[in-house]
Structure 1
């Protein structure tokens, strides 16, 4: 018996799915307006039909791979009837409790049915009608994004792809092949085998917090900086106050609200720092400390000044024991041995070296924070107050924010808020949000290893083959780029004696490298929509010889391709030879394939057979490798099915007494026969079949559990080579050169200044410098405070409606969360803008439209543009393209940060907003799906597509 029902033959399956899909079609027909008779009737019909199926036990609940990149790791279940998912639910396998919580999904994951069955699915291999291979005029690149499409077969499509790869390699070499995709995506692993490519390296979500992480004495889990170092959920109520610095977990890490609300109910107070009073702050009743976008370093320097002043006046602010024992560089007496200057940080803050004391008055002019709030925050950070300082990475996704992490660390260190119950300082991010510490469920590796040789792939194509950060599109347009590191930024330092890892690469003097973008290959990435400088992206894509896209949906990047290869979702697979070709989805769908939280392991498996002519991505890439004349096993040594089973069977739970790692999944000889495997038998906590039926396994914990964690007090534990419990990272010493928290970090300065990108060297401590694009640039005359042409600072918050560009094609989420631009109410009034008005957001780089939503809870001069929307270009205006979809990427260029070239300055947007005098926008949920012209019939409803199975109408 297979995991997917063998009893249903393909012919019967096609008939059944056509009928079932027609029954489920009702869920996509309603637009933004609700309550009409038609809406009620169609929705009601679906509810009745799916309820009847569930009550009649006509199908089966199966665990869903929530396969997009929000990284919340939630559980969703799909009810499958005759090969179609007719209903979804979330975790109900156990009673919900704080000790053993349900792993509940959000509105995005619970709407996934609308993505899998969306009309914008890429159904067949397609070729752009006006394109022909060979480059030159045959490409007709000027029609990319406008042209019609024609359906072709898989053999023809793969022949075209391979033919163009061979031609471009022969004529131009690897510098002409551009790979746009995460390094662990199957497509990225292909290029080191077939001839190489130019990749990108950027910090993405992590901003400048990934800047020299270990050098400062902080910790990275993979490429996640300053994570796993806060207290876990049981210690949050022990804090008097929790600071949320730039955090909005109610939208970005919703699972953490359980832990934070529990702390609130226990009496813990909250403080929120940022440019807008967001929904998390409102839910928790937080005090709002206003700080303008990108000015956080100035704010924190003034806080440090006040801590010094207040401690001198009355004492009991700075924890001198902690500073002297656990840090270096704050005073002359604590300078590190490798210091090349005698500049200590306390004297810098007091103005000894630049003549500018970092007073609240100095900072307030820059950051906009009232002087009294800066003083209050300094008092809050005092050593006798039990405070946990949580930060997201949002405040560091700015140009010129390189010193923010070191300044943030310094405030926490001066108050001694490390290594004690009720204290803490760390990131709050994805699965680690609010429940920090090492994972209680870990993978044993060895014979269960589930990772292909994916992560290091860019380095295998040769040194310096990565374009860095914001400069991606401008470098491709110019045909050259500067490289400061031989590999991606997060592959770690080769300087073993320093013990530095992950987010501390070894830099070298910047090298100019050639690039000639003839063939653009997009895999597991909607890179046109997710990287800044979209106007230049359009030019680069239209100038290339060939653009290839492996896609699930008709994204912006796919619409600019010449060949589109349809990729199956993680809901689709087949392990039944009698049905058709065997296939299994890759475990790497959500970025790294890991479906777990600290104390929970989530199940998933394919729910339905492959739809249309879509194929699994690794299978597509294996075909390309083999047609290129190479061995596909060199790129993909394990099958997806083996990776999938090995992932779950290799999971081990740490025993309550911390003495051993025990299998989570029970596996028997019968399981090997049933699942066509050959893994060792083992006794675990739950059988494999029960695990799949429940959808998850959750470690039951308690307040007295020895596994509970406090950062910088407890060592991190992991599985040893023989399955034993070993220390992965000691609480002390830290991974820095000194083994302490480095308020003065010589390695940071030496390493970064080696690039030569900035004529003014960065200091070993968190000094202030004017960002390359920041608040000061909103003025035509800073001294006279005369505003310039672009007086508004725009940043790009995460939004509940989508995860980056994923989920944004689902009507349910579109209806629940519109697509606004948030702006200060006074700024809107001064411009004659009211809620609901169509406005144009613009600067020298581009223009886009959104619907205005003025708010009182925004600082004057600030704008929030929820990021990730799908662009809709209007090219009729001779003044340039207007994006009626409203992408924030229209408003940026290739400007790099002051010192850290790999950072993406997503939030460093300077703009103006005006009421739009052209055709007003309609709500995007009323706009209809994005369809491939010439393939999909115009007017196709959003979730009913012709030809879902072999030409039959669903």
Structure 2
């Protein structure tokens, strides 16, 4: 009969074998005379996370009061405990040191020494159990109770509880048996010195408006504390917002993907099996080759993904590999600014049409048109400069369907407007300015074409000019403030006052947001704002604006060479689902196909690296699911991510990626704002079997016999970073050495020149890069497309699908818009429980709209249309325009068994009719109805 200590020691050994290896544990069960009914699939589901619907907390850090977070101060305390007694964690299956299996291995180590009278560690064992292991086991037992787990798994947890409470299990072993355990010969090790705490300067790498400094105190690979830019010599600083301060709870969440997995159930079921990296690489290489050989280059598509938008960007890496392997179907434009990116060059002949953000300090009136930098953090310096402007007493007007945080932070006036009706407001403002004679006629005569009869392109009927349109010479409708009020909801007297104020204040600046062009008529809104800037002569001057908000970098930025894609065909980014079903039917004019007259294949392979657009961020989720579930349409989907997102669920192969804390990269400024770039520094080793995409893509390249061409002699990410940095140092002499750059976490240039867009064209009368050499208020290029109803030659209000004039409004009377929340960067951070306090997910609805439907604040409601249904609490507030409802974008799609989303994912409700010209994203133009939920949640 074993004594109590021997029983405890043997029991710990058995538990360690369970958590270390299924096969080992099964063998030991038999040896110990215990029954084993747990299948390997069940084991992998519970311990390796292969079933997306099952989560068992396995780490002390996740089971103590810190919440669902790894590699934190609890993990550090466990490591300190280990090292004090000479124990070094082995990283059991890549797990953090506070993994439950590692805890029992430590207890096995201590009990072995005690059993052999090396030292009596009985008190230490009990102290460790009370501090960490009991909480971990108890949390595991509570979690298992939520799932239909095998009795064998439940039994082993109860065994662990018994071990901790009574000191061991009754096992069919003798003292001689336990002497055969490998741990019986373990030697006592001397105390191990704890590594010193380090302060590491780093940065974010997501498509976040901040692109800010994220610095950390790190010890033993554990992130102890985060802070941001505190450099006294930098003004303005590159400081993080609430998102950056919450990085630990986002990226070190226990929800992390852990191992490569292959789908076993239908797409979307969340059923996977763990595979090795070698097998995953073999599958990717063979499918890449098979699909190219069978269908051609057009069959392979790489999703636009913004989880990593730094120098070493995964989507660019896989495109480079595909380019070397025969090509791929590319895309043009983006979800963010498709309409603006298309039409601004038709006006000015340029893609970069904004003054430096610092120049806003020189304006005397600022209009934020659908722009909410207080929440989106549109570049880390934007809010600094606007706040300084506000302190100077300069008037700031915000035009937005919501009374956003920007209104509250520094707005002097909020102008509530109906979504997609900005064109009507613009037309009426222009009408007032012209009627009152407040326009800058000299500017218009000198630099613009198409504004009036005298300045029309050759061959175009003179009645097509913009001025005649405003005064109703052609259609009999004058675009008066009263006319516009009926469309956009802004009172006529407000329109008239705002128009006069804008025209009479010089210089005045309109800064448009990107949300206003993510509507069904987004191209026309941006054209109209640019026209207002020209009409008042605010283009090309300090303190003015050209109606855009994208400024080019003023310094050379690091880059990675990209091989030419042998396949010339590209589709609008938003139309990838259409290209899966009807790729060979896409046409150049109707669908925006470029580079080829016809695609040779539908999309058959999708690679989605560091992105969640495959499901969560694309319109009409239910229809996208219909398309992706059919494996005969798209035959192979691979996703690399750090979480089991809804996009990962609909993939055939899911690969665990590293977080911002686990690798190096270089981050550039967002949309050109800021004369700096930052170093993203590695703070800890990758956990589990997570790999940065470059590290496994190299091996895919090797399988395709393209290793040398793909790596170009760069074995590591750091090789690419250092070479890219040294290349720009040849042009930017101000930069410090690479080592100094890394140590300080980046560099911000000094004494930068302020850019005034088109200043030279205006001062020196240099022609614009348009066909006419002028600013094209009337675009012959657009007019010649012969779609005058939707794509007129002039900027004008054009009603759009599911706008306020759509007859569908009789059935679904409320306009639904999305907005960028301060709690998320797209869908990133939605799993961060701290952020729920920042901005709880809910539907914004006006009190009058709520009263008509019997809805009160906080009530569970259903938001629905013909595409889907969302169940979510109501946020009844006067901060939303009547007739409009709003959901913040990015919530993780979470359907119940009936398909109703319970998280508030707006794309259950959005539609896929692209914009007329850019074929862009219309996700802020939707009609819905709202009702009290009949189901309690």
TM bracket, shorter-chain basis: 0.7 to 0.9
Partner of 2:636 in structure 1?
A: 546
Q: Which moved more, 1:760-769 or 1:907-916?
A: 760-769
Partner of 1:837 in structure 2?
A: 859
Q: Secondary structure at the match of 2:511?
A: strand
Partner of 1:295 in structure 2?
A: 421
What does 1:339-354 align with in structure 2 at a 5 Å threshold? 339=460, 343-354=464-475
For 1:14 and 1:858, the matched residues in 2 are separated by: 51
What does 1:246-257 align with in structure 2 at a 5 Å threshold? 246-253=370-377, 255=380, 256-257=382-383
For 2:733 and 2:336, the matched residues in 1 are separated by: 33
Q: Is the 8 A contact 1:846 1:890 kept in 2?
A: yes
Q: Number of aligned pairs?
A: 751
Partner of 2:240 in structure 1?
A: 105
For 2:765 and 2:195, the matched residues in 1 are separated by: 52
Partner of 2:181 in structure 1?
A: none
For 1:323 and 1:177, the matched residues in 2 are separated by: 48
CA offsets 1:822-867 (integer angstroms, 9 cap, x no match): 1112111211112212221111111122221111021111111100
What does 1:313-352 align with in structure 2 at a 5 Å threshold? 317-336=438-457, 339=460, 343-352=464-473
Q: Is the 8 A contact 2:315 2:609 kept in 1?
A: no
In the alignment, structure 1 residue 737 sits paired with structure 2 residue 771: yes
Q: Is the 8 A contact 1:481 1:515 kept in 2?
A: no
What does 1:186-265 align with in structure 2 at a 5 Å threshold? 186-217=317-348, 219-221=350-352, 226=353, 229-230=354-355, 232-233=357-358, 235-253=359-377, 255=380, 256-265=382-391
For 2:728 and 2:674, the matched residues in 1 are separated by: 12
CA offsets 1:629-655 (integer angstroms, 9 cap, x no match): 4445247675532331234334569xx
CA offsets 1:578-637 (integer angstroms, 9 cap, x no match): xxxxxxx455xx7x7989853333232222222221222122222223213444524767
Partner of 2:906 in structure 1?
A: 888
Q: Secondary structure at the match of 2:464?
A: coil
Q: Secondary structure at the match of 1:886?
A: coil
Q: CA distance change for structure 1 residues 270 and 171 in 2, over 3 Å: closer, same or farther?
A: same
Partner of 2:608 in structure 1?
A: 522
For 2:906 and 2:678, the matched residues in 1 are separated by: 34
Partner of 1:918 in structure 2?
A: 935
Q: Secondary structure at the match of 1:88?
A: strand
In the alignment, structure 1 residue 644 sits paired with structure 2 residue 721: yes
Q: Unaligned regions of 5+ residues in structure 1, if any? A: 1-7, 31-55, 131-142, 312-316, 430-436, 444-448, 490-506, 574-584, 654-660, 668-687, 717-728, 781-786, 921-954
Q: CA distance change for structure 1 residues 242 and 479 in 2, over 3 Å: closer, same or farther?
A: closer
For 2:412 and 2:685, the matched residues in 1 are separated by: 48
Q: Is the 8 A contact 2:471 2:478 kept in 1?
A: yes
For 2:674 and 2:459, the matched residues in 1 are separated by: 37
Partner of 1:532 in structure 2?
A: 619
Q: Is the 8 A contact 2:202 2:678 kept in 1?
A: no
Partner of 1:58 in structure 2?
A: 196
Q: Is the 8 A contact 2:372 2:405 kept in 1?
A: yes
- Return the match for 1:900 from 906, 918, 927: 918
In the alignment, structure 1 residue 362 sits paired with structure 2 residue 380: no
- Return the match for 1:400 from 509, 521, 529: 521
Q: CA distance change for structure 1 residues 308 and 13 in 2, over 3 Å: closer, same or farther?
A: farther
Q: CA distance change for structure 1 residues 551 and 601 in 2, over 3 Å: closer, same or farther?
A: closer
For 1:822 and 1:288, the matched residues in 2 are separated by: 17
Partner of 1:180 in structure 2?
A: 303
Give 1:796 shift: 0.9
Partner of 1:126 in structure 2?
A: 261
Q: CA distance change for structure 1 residues 749 and 637 in 2, over 3 Å: closer, same or farther?
A: farther
- Return the match for 2:703 from 606, 609, 627: 627
Q: TM-score, normalised by structure 2?
A: 0.74
Q: CA distance change for structure 1 residues 641 and 695 in 2, over 3 Å: closer, same or farther?
A: closer
For 1:59 and 1:80, the matched residues in 2 are separated by: 6
For 1:410 and 1:185, the matched residues in 2 are separated by: 36
Q: Is the 8 A contact 2:431 2:471 kept in 1?
A: yes
What does 1:388-787 align with in structure 2 at a 5 Å threshold? 388-428=509-549, 439-443=553-557, 450-453=559-562, 457=565, 460-463=566-569, 465-466=570-571, 468-478=572-582, 480-484=584-588, 513=599, 515-527=601-613, 528-544=615-631, 545-573=635-663, 585=664, 587=666, 597-631=673-707, 633-634=709-710, 638=714, 640-651=717-728, 662-667=732-737, 688-701=738-751, 707-713=753-759, 732-750=766-784, 752-753=785-786, 758=787, 760=789, 762-777=791-806, 779=807
Q: CA distance change for structure 1 residues 882 and 512 in 2, over 3 Å: closer, same or farther?
A: farther
Higher helix proportion:
2
Q: Is the 8 A contact 2:209 2:376 kept in 1?
A: no
Partner of 1:79 in structure 2?
A: 217
For 2:296 and 2:446, the matched residues in 1 are separated by: 55
Q: CA distance change for structure 1 residues 812 and 388 in 2, over 3 Å: closer, same or farther?
A: same
Give 1:14 shift: 4.4
Superposed CA RMSD: 3.5
For 1:652 and 1:615, the matched residues in 2 are separated by: 30
For 1:10 and 1:794, the matched residues in 2 are separated by: 58
For 2:892 and 2:95, the matched residues in 1 are separated by: 30
Q: Is the 8 A contact 2:577 2:627 kept in 1?
A: yes
Q: Secondary structure at the match of 1:73?
A: coil
Q: Unaligned regions of 5+ residues in structure 2, if any? A: 1-82, 101-130, 140-193, 306-313
For 1:649 and 1:11, the matched residues in 2 are separated by: 39
Q: Is the 8 A contact 1:361 1:371 kept in 2?
A: yes
Give 1:420 shift: 2.9
Q: TM-score, normalised by structure 1?
A: 0.73
For 2:457 and 2:267, the matched residues in 1 are separated by: 57
For 2:492 and 2:286, the matched residues in 1 are separated by: 65
Give 1:230 shift: 2.5
Give 1:191 shift: 2.1
Q: CA distance change for structure 1 residues 58 and 732 in 2, over 3 Å: closer, same or farther?
A: farther
Q: CA distance change for structure 1 residues 75 and 426 in 2, over 3 Å: closer, same or farther?
A: farther
Q: Secondary structure at the match of 1:453?
A: coil
Which of structures 1 and 2 has the larger relative contact order (alpha carbons within 8 angstroms, sep 6+)?
1
For 1:884 and 1:197, the matched residues in 2 are separated by: 37
For 2:893 and 2:601, the matched residues in 1 are separated by: 27
Q: Is the 8 A contact 2:609 2:639 kept in 1?
A: yes
Q: Secondary structure at the match of 2:930?
A: strand
Partner of 1:784 in structure 2?
A: none
